[in-house]
Amino acid sequence: MSKGRVSSLVKHEGIPIIFDLSLKGFYNWCRNRLKYLGFNPFITPYKYDHQIMIYARLIQGYIITTDKDFLKCERAIILKVDKYEKMYVKMLKELHEKLF
């Protein structure tokens, strides 16, 4: 692997990925995959949308949700309910766009 490739893989080390409560099953499915990539995934400790948005901004994390109310939040990735594999690929693509 080239040095440029290694440095680009390390840039997202430990970035918090906050899953909305409605995606608990998807979180369980992809938790280990995200940890392997160096992210820090977890379920939100808050119930209300505005609290989750403020929390994500404070810890500089990204919100994964299916709730359209998060459209106004620049740190939210809104997924369409689909097969987990498709949701996972879309989530990683959008995370990559937001990080780089």
CATH number of the structural domain spanning residue 92: 3.40.50
Number of domains in the chain: 1
Whether 1 is covered by a domain: the verdict is: no
Whether 79 is covered by a domain: the verdict is: yes
Res 7: pLDDT = 43
Whether 31 is covered by a domain: the verdict is: yes
Whether 2 is covered by a domain: the verdict is: no
Whether 4 is covered by a domain: the verdict is: no
Domain limits for position 34:
12-99
Q: How would you write the pLDDT of the chain (100 residues) with one tens digit per residue? A: 445 444 444 456 789 999 999 999 999 999 999 999 999 999 999 999 999 999 999 999 999 999 999 999 999 999 999 999 999 999 999 999 998 8
Nearest-angstrom CA–CA distance, 37 and 59: 19
> What DSSP string describes 2-65?
-HHHHHHHHTTTT-EEEEPGGGHHHHHHHHHHHHHTT-EEEE-S--SHHHHHHHHHHHT-EEEE
Whether 7 is covered by a domain: the verdict is: no
Nearest-angstrom CA–CA distance, 76 and 94: 10
Whether 26 is covered by a domain: the verdict is: yes
